[in-house]
Structure 1
Amino acid sequence: MNNQQQQKGDNKHDKFTWTIKNFSRLNTKKLYSETFLIGGYPWRLLLFPKGNNVDYLSIYLDVADSSKLPSGWERGARFKVALINQVKSDYVVGKETRHQFNARESDWGFTSFISLRDFSDPSRGYLLNDTCIIQVEISVLDSANENQVDQATSTTVPLDSGDQARQMEMEPPQQENLKQNVTASVPLSSHVSTESIEPANNLSLLKGMSSTPTDELIDFRGLGKIEAAFVPLLEQVCSQYPSLIDCQRKRSRRFTEWAFIALGRVLHFLKTKKGKDMNDDACNHLQILWEELETFRFDLTWLEPHVQSALGMKSYLERAMQVKKLKENVSALEMERKRLKAELASAEVDLEVAKRHLAKAEEDLQERDMDVELGYGHP
Structure 2
Amino acid sequence: MENQNTKDKMFKKFTWTLTNFSTLDSKKLYSDTFSIDGHTWRIIIFPKGNRGNSMSIYLDAGVATMPHGWEKLANFKLILINQLNHERNIIRETSHTFNSEQGVWGYTSYISLGALWNSSLGFIVNDTCIIEAHIFVNMLDHENKLVESIENLFPMEMISTSSFDEVVDFIPLLEDVCSRYPSLIDKKKKKSQRFIKWSFTALGRVLHFLNTKKVRDMDDDACNHLQTLWEELETCGFELSWLKPHVQSALGMKTCVEKVLAAKRLEENVTTLEKNVAILEMEEKTLRTKRIEAEVNLEITRRDLVKAKEDFVECDLDAELWKTMNCI
Q: Do these two structures clear the TM 0.5 threshold for a shared fold by scoring above it? A: no
Question: Which structure has greater helix proportion?
Answer: 2
Larger Rg: 2
Q: Normalising by the residue count of structure 1, what TM-score does the alignment of the two structures yield? A: 0.36
Q: Normalising by the residue count of structure 2, what TM-score does the alignment of the two structures yield? A: 0.41
Higher relative contact order (CA 8 A, sep 6+): 2
